Amino acid sequence: MKARNVPDWNAVWGEKMDRLQKIINGAAWLAIAALGLYILGYGVRGRALPKIGYAVKKVLTNAEGTLQNAAAKCLYPGLAFAAGDRGTAASLEELLIQEAAEVFPLFSFVEEQKLYETASESTAAYEILIQGGAHDENEIDAQTGEAFDIAEKVEEENLRAAQEEQAALEQERREQEALAQAEAGGQAAGAVQSGAVLGTEYTLEQLSDFDFLKNNFYIVESNTDISSDLLDAETLLGMDMTMKQDSSAPQILIYHTHSQEGFVDSVPGDSSTTIVGVGEYLAELLRDTYGYNVIHNTGVYDFIDGKLDRNQAYTLAAEDVEQILAENPTIEVVIDLHRDGVQEDTHLVTEVNGKTTAQIMFFNGLSFSKRNGPIGYLENPYIGENLALSLQMKLGCEKYYPGFTRKVYLKSLRYNLHLRPKSLLVEAGAQTNTLQEMLNAMEPLAYVLNQVLKGN
């Protein structure tokens, strides 16, 4: 058996170290020569030898480019290889770099690993961004309490501003129309008297025009949409929203997903000065004035571990509401009472029967994304009934209290409106209203709700 030749590793390593020393020496001499040329070129450029200075400058520029290329190959050999530069070194600098790469082949491996890790991180970041597009109804703006789709937040804010402007214009238009009708002498056709203000009763022919209905009564958020099949006035107004007048068992449930919503003069720690206190007044009106059996649930779902937290408010509220409905199956109407969030210089008020009154807005979730279509995990079999109730309430307010309501707001999610066919989400006033303005708003709201439930 022939003996294998075992390499002398000391000799091999010594040879590589010698080659490295030659590389270092060569680089040092090259640097000294470049420095000398630079000094000479600088001196020549400043004196009366412009041609020589130009020639030296050109040499220096070429040397600079060569050095940059050499540095790039030394630091990023993988990139140089990918670019297709695999030929024999054509200069001293390139020869030095080639020799260094042979002495330290691990250098190229490390660079390739860096490139691979960067690509992996980029892929992971992309996946996170994609997952971020999947929203649910419990993504809540910490300031306004509004649920939102992260990818379309900017569009929502723009729509909010447009909505406020539209509400002001709409109120001004109505006041002008009412004044014109009064001056014309008496009650115009299609108008009814409510207190000291004339309201408008729209005809089915007017409301059957989809564009008229949508443009005059609704704000449709940009990330959702509604078709004429769903927003059909004849169908929605034909739905029976009346309720049996039997107060021997609970009929109406009022609750607050965002119980911590307050007003400009709310007292910290006193829930009677927040939306909860306003809800209690609404419950009293419906009980004492109109004879309904009402449950007012004052559960808290947006204040967790001692701090405001609305991330799970709709989920937590749904659990309690579902239990209350299971225990009280006679409940037909479910009202989630909120207050809106607006800019600090916006004051949502009108005058009702001589009282300064907060304006209200009815709100519907469509479980529909313009980008992806129906939102399956937010199924709501009662979207039609929800829309019917809010439209009938809106038209009742137009009839009896013009200027009291803003346009109905349509958003893409569900907001627990699937719990009963007669589910109503009301945004009453905003943080810039006073408590008294909010309490005043409950009086026309209760009146119109009674009219709709009785079929008047």
Q: Say if residue 185 is in the same domain as residue 102.
A: no
For residue 120, tell me if it sits in a domain.
no
Torsion of CA 146, 149, 154, 155, to 10 degrees: -100
Summarize pLDDT for 117-127 with one digit per residue, the tens: 333 333 333 33
Overall domain count for the chain: 2
Roughly how many angstroms between the first and final C-alpha of the chain, as a whole number?
Answer: 113
Return the CATH number at 409.
3.40.630.40
Q: Say if residue 240 is in the same domain as residue 355.
A: yes
Summarize pLDDT for 326-369 with one digit per residue, the tens: 999 999 999 999 999 999 999 999 999 999 999 999 999 999 99
For residue 393, tell me if it sits in a domain.
yes
d(Cα 164, Cα 160) in Å, to the nearest integer?
A: 6
Sign of the dihedral defined by the CA atoms of residues 270, 275, 281, 286, in that order: negative
Q: Say if residue 363 is in the same domain as residue 256.
A: yes
Domain end: 78, 108, 138, which one? 108
Q: How would you write the pLDDT of the chain (456 residues) with one tens digit per residue?
A: 444 455 565 565 566 667 666 766 766 666 666 666 555 555 544 444 444 455 545 545 555 555 555 545 544 454 444 444 444 445 555 555 555 555 444 444 444 444 333 333 333 333 333 333 333 444 545 455 554 444 445 445 555 665 666 666 666 655 565 555 544 443 333 444 444 346 899 999 999 999 999 999 999 999 999 999 999 999 999 999 999 878 999 999 999 999 999 999 999 999 999 999 999 999 999 999 999 999 999 999 999 888 898 989 999 999 999 999 999 999 999 999 999 999 999 999 999 999 999 999 999 999 999 999 999 999 999 999 999 999 999 999 999 999 999 999 999 999 999 999 999 999 999 999 999 999 999 999 999 999 999 998
Q: Which of 334, 186, 184, 326 is nearest to 253 (CA)?
A: 334
Q: Say if residue 288 is in the same domain as residue 161.
A: yes
Mark out the alpha helices in 301-365 (DSSP H runs). Answer: 313-327
Q: Say if residue 215 is in the same domain as residue 346.
A: yes
Q: Say if residue 157 is in the same domain as residue 256.
A: yes
Q: The domain containing residue 228 runs over which residues?
A: 150-454
Torsional class of 455: left (φ above 0), alpha (ψ -120 to 50), beta (otherwise)? left
For residue 257, tell me if it sits in a domain.
yes
For residue 1, tell me if it sits in a domain.
no
Q: Structure pTM?
A: 0.61
Q: Say if residue 24 is in the same domain as residue 91.
A: yes
For residue 79, tell me if it sits in a domain.
yes
For residue 350, tell me if it sits in a domain.
yes
For residue 235, tell me if it sits in a domain.
yes
For residue 142, tell me if it sits in a domain.
no
